[in-house]
Structure 1
């Protein structure tokens, strides 16, 4: 034992130090204390770099550390986001067989209105949940898809009268999802012949541990189904891959965006053949895309199964009132809310200079159309014949979507981050660090965004992405040409 401690004392010291920092983050941090927040986060990010890249510790060590760091938060009340109060509210309605999409918390607290609807339904700790989620959240209908609601319902079923107990249940679900990402992510990396250590830029990332496990955001559950789906698709098991992709949409709607990118991957497959060089008679592998009628049938079936799974999960809630409420709430994200945006803030400034007012109502309708156009370009004009090319296309599409969005909360970056571990691009890792600058908006005097920090965040991210997409690739090609590789 002493020999073990002597050999690994440096690694253990930094692991314990990380646990202390995570404890401080979870139990002794106010969101308004940005200096403490960014100091702790910077230290944790540096320790993660040491563990993953510098020391390259064994897989099992890093896996255990990732779980232990998450367990530090097990009884912590989220301190960077208040969304979980709405999760608990929806779950407590669901276990009483009340459709959470049809009523707002404000409706419930208006005793006159609620008594007309159903006076027998009681939400435990209603006042605490209402004040915790805030007036803005409480005044809108729920926009969390059905499988996400199921997670909320599980928390309410096991601990419906305790806020802390419900938080623990939700946190266990998120931790289990992350372990699933670790498992299937490792298998996919092995099949793609990529370093399995890459997965720890998700699993051991302080960004993921803090934003998902710590603050109870369900991107991790969505990404569990996405990664599992990609692994099965890589293995040729398209039916179950489609089912899992549909389930991911039922947790978060984001995967709907990159559904078109699967079209070319399934429809046209890469075929390799060996050709003989005329000059040197050397065998040279050559690959090309080919079209098979069976692939066309498979493509149609893939989309039918995916959409069918989505509809099946939504079926218990479907009604004209649900469609109206759900779509209206989703629309608010594009036409009313704005936070940590990039391109949109530039357009907004131009609007103020030209017409004199905030043009979010108009821009919020146009930007999604531009995103769809870009996704179609990536679908039909980009080579997506291999699994890695497909994932790279999804990464680029999702990144463009966030760059054109009016609202980009920090936890949204979990999606490009996990996708990046299966590609050669690392700009999402940089993004997962600088996105924390957005918390400067939550000061002691209330909410007020510092646009200089927002500008710095996106200049760094976009600059790094451009370097990786263009200059880094050119530099690599020039180097290999000088070495006579081509």
Structure 2
């Protein structure tokens, strides 16, 4: 009743909500990714509405929760239109239900041999396209469990499996909203800040709409950090392992915990630290055990390695280095550059781990934010949904560049406006000019520190 009263009094909020839901509906059911003008206009409109809704309703937490949930439910019956990855999710889940290890066979290998081990096999392979179908699965075991669950009640309908996947992701987003809000309160920040993530059109479209499982990984990550903040570090380690077992990205953050565990004399408590790492390691290994074989290790390591040595999309620093390599040698040096850049990321993360006072949770989260940012800026492949991690982490800091990036990254989809899916480097240059400009301005204005004088926008 309170929300109804507020909506009657605030006609602008009502209009913005209705307009947002309408645009989400168009986005979900009447958009193809090659229609770039419609894509950008809709996304820009949604972003404006999102900003104004939060700005005008900071103190109405329940209303913002309702909007977040309804916005996601708009996509419930929609087939993703900006990504084909979900076809592989369905394939892997159905394959496991048939007792077949998805890490040991490529989808294309079955089709080439005239085998159709699951329902709608040919349709799924056509949907995921040749590049995906010709590689082994690279999705960690907990991800596979969710693929199984989504297919349990729908082994003959792609839409049915999509609905299953979507409900799991929505549930994870609600969990992130809950624990993210609690963590913000614990840190003395305004609880409504979690909606800069939860209500962000980028998150709703890329996770709920396009079915990317970063949302589930981030739920476990925030849950883990919340438990860590309450000194339940053993449970935190287990939940952190679940995050790793959904997506491997949280492995980047492991060195940052070195200074977290302190004795009364302010020295590192190595016993707790090592126990924390051991719990994470054992839990992760246990989750991989059902799929383990030497062939699995070989296939999985090669597939993961492709992201550093073969694939290219929406990169920044790498594209500059690639251009320099072409000038010097006359051909693409990705094999070499793809080895150097991860090494630089490794060095930067260890600098953040050893030089910063990460025993304080706000500082630890800033370190995580910049560790992930460096990883993205030094990657050869940056699909839009990859930045979900920095967007969520930024909510707990004073940095806003991730929100700006979550808006401007939509132009990376312009690569699909042509038949050959060739990127326009001027467009990529514009994206990163904006990102780097905001990033450097914020770093200059707000050094890599976190004080108790926090902004609460």
TM-score range (shorter-chain normalised) is over 0.9
Alignment of 1:380-391 (within 5 A): 380-391=354-365
Residue 291 of structure 1 is matched in structure 2 by 267
TM-score when normalising by structure 1: 0.90
Q: Distance in 2 between matches of 1:86 and 1:387?
A: 37
Of 160, 170, 177 in structure 2, the residue corresponding to residue 175 of structure 1 is 170
Q: Contact (CA 8 Å) 2:47, 2:200: kept in 1 or not?
A: yes
**Alpha-carbon distance in structure 1 between the residues aligned to 2:14 and 2:366:** 36
- Within 5 Å, give how 1:1-400 maps onto structure 2: 6-111=8-113, 122-266=117-261, 268=262, 290-291=266-267, 295-400=269-374
Q: Structure 1 residues 315, 35: closer, same or farther in 2, change over 3 A?
A: same
Structure 1 window deviating more from structure 2 (211-220 vs 424-433): it is 424-433
Q: Tell me what 1:276 maps to.
A: none
Deviation, 1:366, is 1.2
1:291 is paired with a residue whose SS is coil
1:408 aligns with 2:410: no
Cα offset, 1:291, TM superposition: 1.2
How many Å apart are 1:385 and its aligned residue? 2.1
Instruction: Work out the CA distance in 2 between the residues paired with 1:59 and 1:102.
Output: 47
Match for residue 403 of structure 2 among 429, 443, 452:
429
Measure how far apart 1:472 and its partner are: 4.5
Equivalent pairs, count? 449
* SS state at 1:447 partner: coil
- Normalization by structure 2: what TM-score? 0.95
Deviation at 1:12, TM superposition (A): 1.3
Find the aligned partners of 2:187 and 2:59 in 1 and give their Cα distance. Answer: 21
Cα distance in structure 1, aligned partners of 2:428 and 2:291: 39
**Aligned-partner Cα distance in 2 for 1:444–1:355:** 29
Q: Which shows bigger deviation, 439-448 or 91-100?
A: 439-448
Q: Residue 405 of structure 1: SS of its match in structure 2?
A: coil
Equivalent position to 1:418, from 384, 392, 401: 392
Distance 1:388 1:5 in 2: 35
Shift of 1:4: 5.8
d(CA) in 2 for partners of 1:139 and 1:304? Answer: 35
In 1, Cα distance between the equivalents of 2:358 and 2:226?
A: 16
Q: Gapped runs of 5+ residues in structure 2?
A: none
Q: RMSD of the alignment, in Å?
A: 1.8
Q: Do the aligned residues in 2 keep the contact of 1:51 with 1:57 (CA within 8 Å)?
A: no
Q: Distance in 2 between matches of 1:19 and 1:3?
A: 20
Highest CA radius of gyration, 1 or 2?
A: 1
Residue pair 2:7, 2:13 contacting (<8 A) in 1 also: no
Change in Cα spacing, 1:5 to 1:426, as seen in structure 2 (3 Å) is: closer
The aligned counterpart of 1:438 is 412
Measured at CA, do residues 462 and 5 of structure 1 come closer, stay the same or move farther in structure 2, by a change above 3 Å?
Answer: closer
| Structure 1 counterpart SS, 2:266 | strand
Q: Once structures 1 and 2 are overlaid, which stretch shifts more, 54-63 or 332-341?
A: 54-63
Report what 1:278 is aligned to: none
Moved over 4 A (4+): 1-5
CA-CA distance at 1:123 after TM superposition: 0.8
Q: Comparing both structures, which one devotes a greater share of its residues to strand? A: 1
Structure 1: which 5+ runs fail to align?
Answer: 115-120, 272-288, 481-486
Say if 1:420 and 1:428, in contact at 8 Å, map to a contact too: yes
- Displacement of 1:156: 1.5
1:395-421 deviations in Å (ceiling 9; x for gaps): 000000000000000000100000011
Cα shift readout 1:171-220 (whole Å, capped 9, x = no counterpart): 00000000000000000000000111110011100000000000000000
> Offset of 1:8 from its aligned partner?
3.0
Aligned-partner Cα distance in 1 for 2:56–2:433: 27
Structure 1 range deviating more: 51-60 or 221-230 = 51-60
Q: Distance in 1 between matches of 2:296 and 2:417?
A: 36
Q: d(CA) in 1 for partners of 2:179 and 2:131?
A: 38
